[in-house]
Amino acid sequence: MTLKGLLTVLKESFLRLSPVYLIKNPTMFLAELAFFIALVYSAATGLRSPYAIAIIVLLFLTVWFGTLSDAFSEFKTKSAADLLISAASSYTARKVDPRSGAEVIVSAEMLRPGDIIEVRAGEIIPIDGVIVEGEAAIDESLVTGESVPVIKSANDEVIGGSKVVSDSIKVKVVKSLEESFVIRVARLISSSKRPRGENERALHVLVSMFAVLFSTIIIFLYLLLMAEGVVPNPLILMAFYVCLLPTTIGALEEAIGISGIAKLLQMKVIAKSGKAVENAGDVDVVLLDKTGTVTIGKREPVRIVPLKGHTEKEVAEAAFLSSVQDDTPEGKAIIRFLQSKGYISGDLDSAMRSSYEEFSAKTRKSGVFLKLVDGKGKEVYRSFGLIRKSDLFGLYLNGEIPVFKGAPDIMKKMFKVPDDFDEKVNEIARNGSSPLAVAYYDEVIGLIELKDVLKEGVKEKIRLLKSMGIELQLITGDHRLTAEAIAKELGVDKFVPEARPEDKHSIAMNEQKKGKVIAMVGDGVNDAPALAIANVGLAMNSGTNVAKEAANMVDLESDPSKLIEVVLVGKRLLTTRGSITAFSIANDISKYFVVLPALIAFLPSAARLDVLGLPLHVAVISALIYNAFIIPALIPLAIRGVPIRAGTPLEIFTWNFLIYGVGGIVLPFLAIKGIGMLIMLMHLV
């Protein structure tokens, strides 16, 4: 941290001492009140003993450490956000006049939706937009952290802050800078308006309950002692009060909350509202999209399955012909697979020239119509064993032979199928793979088994979520058998096969009706309604704008499997908050044995309670030192979070309770005794 940053944090921490600001945090507000009472009392009575001064200073430190941790954690997040904002606002743009084509240089803030700007090699795209002209390599590392430039051309979206590496493009501005994604999020983080999630609100109620309980105890303890004719020392009373108040959680509450947003930011996930992060912790049901979320989304061919009456070689050849012109990742993968197996030979030219029918989501098939009648037929016939001599003469569809590959159900409708078709299709599906039917002439001759590779580590993460009792549902367009096999492999109990994107919406709705909190990912226009109602909707930055608008989180790296990570971040946030609360409350037990004796020193019970055997005023000072310094000591834990363990909620609870609950009971006794002995060794008293 720079000196300037340090000063900012210090300044901010003092500004936040204002009671007007602190009132939002009842615990810290009451602690500050106690400090003021102690201060006014000693000022009014002229109390200037080192003991009194030490108490007042330590009371102040307790409150100040709280605002300091607030200011510090916010500063860290804010500086990351500010970096984004300042970078975004400092850009200039080459605005193109639509009529004359003349260019003027304007600052990015001046741009309005609809403006056309030109960005040349080496320049930074100042604002979110859509390419209208040109193709360029773009480095998006500033926003996504992905250092390999991506090629983008007309109609592709570009993100403000990314850099054009080669060529030049014309970009149509879609949003003003103020509305652009990065700025909006950065502003959100800076504004520090962090709406509370349900669990956090309830925790707030609970912490307030303890604040009221200890306030009651202190007020009536004072009144009772007075009624009995004993005037308690107000300084010790206030010291006791602040020690009992759950200041540890009160001071760190904000830092914990902010750490969630910061952690997502590190993961390149931008939360559009703080609430989304809080919701992530409350998630009960995760709707998994198969493709992308749990699998790489690239289906790799693993096996060729010839159907009755056909050979493997024939199927390979047909697959090859139908894929030569196929630019989809799948088509390319098939070519690669065939090459590696040595099936490739023959005349590519003919296949390349043949009219190609592209794959579309509607037809769910692609392939070629081989032209064999224009004199080239012989060569093709010779190089492909697949093509029968008779095919050359038996005219088919204007002399074109269809060679297609596609979804089995579609292909079955369009071509003849051998008897063992269904059996082989199911066999592949049962492996958790997808069958791709390959047809030649008028018949499906074989199948290609495409296996979707599971993402690395995804199984372990799913097991972790499952052990916590979070329900996982796999929603996939796959055939029932495939879906079942994949669900089984992942250990997911519930799956929805042959699902359309609209189904996501209705599933999410149903689960929410049961009061459950849903997390899901999406990128298409069809996903938008579901993303909009999901408590945690993670959209892909590579996806459509509609989806990004509907979702409450966007992954800049467009990795759907991050949904699981996002949920874990939220859980970690919650667990951290709960554990520090338990720690804070557990600490109070020691205070009854350390500070209470000083307050009732005139009674024999004081000596009985005093298990640490420190002189009473040393005990009070030590307890206050512990109580104040435990706050900065726990900042790293608050920011890093309590590690997530596998296990049922009760198991996780038991573990965290043993560490933070039991630890919270024992630690202060040891620490206060240690501090007290140190004070005595240094002859400070």
Sites of contact with other proteins (CB under 8 A)? 198-199, 201-203, 205-206, 208-209, 212-213, 216-217, 219-221, 223-224, 227-228, 281-282, 284, 468-471, 514-517, 570-575, 577-579, 581-582, 585-586, 588-589, 592, 596, 600, 603-606, 608-609, 644, 648-654, 656-657, 660-661
Taking the complex as a whole, the smallest distance from the CB of residue 330 to other proteins amounts, in Å, to 38
Reduced to 3 states, what is the DSSP secondary structure of residue 539? strand
Q: How far is CA 6 from CA 2, 14, 73, 325, in A?
A: 6, 12, 12, 60
Long-range contacts from 658-665, C-beta under 8 angstroms, 24+ separation: 659/579, 660/579, 660/580, 660/582, 660/583, 660/586, 661/582, 661/583, 661/586, 662/586, 663/583, 663/586, 664/582, 664/583, 664/584, 664/585, 664/586, 664/587, 665/586, 665/587, 665/589, 665/590
Q: Compute the distance between CA of residue 169 and CA of residue 188 in angstroms, rounded to an integer.
A: 31
Enumerate residues 6+ apart whose C-beta is below 8 A from 664: 582, 583, 584, 585, 586, 587
Instruction: Give the C-alpha distances (Å, rounded to integers) separating 500 from 269, 476, 481, 537.
Output: 26, 8, 17, 18
Please classify residue 184 by burial: count the beta carbons closer than 10 Å to its beta carbon, then call 0-12 exposed, 13-18 middle and 19+ buried: middle
Q: Which two tokens stand for residue 608?
A: 């009985």
Q: Which secondary structure element, helix H or strand E, spans residue 482, and what is its range?
A: helix 480-490
Nearest CB to other proteins, comparing residues 83 and 202: 202
User: What tokens appear for 130 in the block?
Assistant: 């859509």
Contact 167, 135 (CB under 8 A): yes
Least gap, CB of 592 to other proteins (angstroms): 5
Minimum distance, C-beta of residue 18 to other proteins, in the bound complex (Å): 28
- Closest approach, Cβ 586 to other proteins, in A, equals 7
Query: Token digits for 507?
Result: 């599933």
Residue 464 to residue 471: CA distance in whole angstroms: 11
Residue 452 annotated as catalytic: no
Which lies closer to other proteins via its Cβ, residue 218 or residue 380?
218
Measured from the CB atom, the residue of 248 and 354 that comes closer to other proteins is: 248
> Are the C-beta atoms of residues 580 and 254 closer than 8 Å to each other?
no
- Note the Cα 660 to chain centre separation in Å: 26
Compute the least distance from the CB of residue 29 to other proteins, in Å.
18
At its nearest, how many Å lie between other proteins and the CB of residue 514? 4
- Name residue 89's amino acid: S
Nearer to other proteins by C-beta: 57 or 606?
A: 606
Pairwise CA distance, residues 244 & 221, whole Å: 13
Q: Exactly one of 289, 452, 523, 610 is catalytic; which is it?
A: 289
* Residue with Cβ nearer other proteins (83 or 607): 607
Q: How far is the CB of 596 from other proteins (least distance, A)?
A: 6
Count other C-beta atoms under 10 Å from residue 422's C-beta: 12
CA distances in angstroms from 451 to 288, 344, 430, 460, listed in the order given: 18, 21, 11, 20
Per-residue DSSP letter, 514? T
Taking the complex as a whole, the smallest distance from the CB of residue 215 to other proteins amounts, in Å, to 10
**Distance in Å, CB of 559 to other proteins, minimum:** 23
Q: How far apart are CA 242 and CA 232, in angstroms?
A: 16
Q: Which is nearer to other proteins, 114 or 515 (CB)?
A: 515
CA contacts within 13 A on the Cβ side of 262: 23
Q: Which residues are catalytic?
A: 289
